[in-house]
Amino acid sequence: MAAAALESRLGYRFRRPELLEQALTHRSFAADNNERLEFIGDGLLGCAIAEELFQRFPQLAEGRLTRFRSELVRRERLAAIAESLELRPELRLGTGVHVTPAILANTVEALFGAIFIDGGYEAGRAAVATAYGELLAALDPRAELKDHKSRLQELLQAQGRKPPQYRLTGKQGPDNDLRFEVSCLIAELSLETYGSGASLQKAQQQAAKAMLEKLAA
């Protein structure tokens, strides 16, 4: 494991290198894995992002801050951060286990948790701020933060149409990486789109996004 290079990308040097190794260890590889570190890292991440947003945007109300935080801590963002940290070759996985967005996202949370255990909250918060630097800098408080479902419903209301119907069409994958599949139907227009996600809500959002794109085409 190229620990020094990874520590450089994280902006943190471990006093207990075994914590870094544990954070990179999937449960398929060893019993001493990163799940507990992931648990505490998830809590640290939410708190650190909330603090960053609170400091950066004193004019924003609680609802807007919550939406920003939700956008920043979702699985896809964490998986992208894992790629920017070049984590794939550092992961310790069992034989035959393939890298998934869930594994990447969980590992990033475990790394934040390991830093918290090794160096305390300030070290963990600084690591989060470093990893999220570009994403935080790109945030625009004037941007429209309505989710896809809200935007679609408002569009249909403005057209005098009924709200869309969402239906669960299936579930795929193992319990630790379950994907929900959902359809979005506008019966009046005979239009139907599909979405998938790690939760029912995320799958609905993806289906709504696809419908907005179809209506805009």
Residue 120 identity? G
SS3 172: strand
Q: Which two tokens stand for residue 110?
A: 């475990």
DSSP at 98: P
From the candidates 21, 109, 118, 181, give the one annotated as an active-site residue. Answer: 109
Residue 177 annotated as catalytic: no
Radius of gyration of the chain (CA): 20
How many Cα atoms occupy the beta-carbon half-sphere of 8 within 13 Å?
A: 5
Q: Are 212 and 148 in contact (CB under 8 A)?
A: yes
Whole-number Å distance between alpha carbons of 182 and 164: 12
Q: Are 153 and 164 in contact (CB under 8 A)?
A: yes
From the candidates 42, 52, 118, 181, give the one annotated as an active-site residue. Answer: 42
DSSP at 92: B
Q: What is the DSSP string of 192-210?
A: EEEEEESSHHHHHHHHHHH
Residue 109 annotated as catalytic: yes
Whole-number Å distance between alpha carbons of 51 and 49: 5
Q: Which two tokens stand for residue 37?
A: 């570190």
Catalytic residues: 42, 109
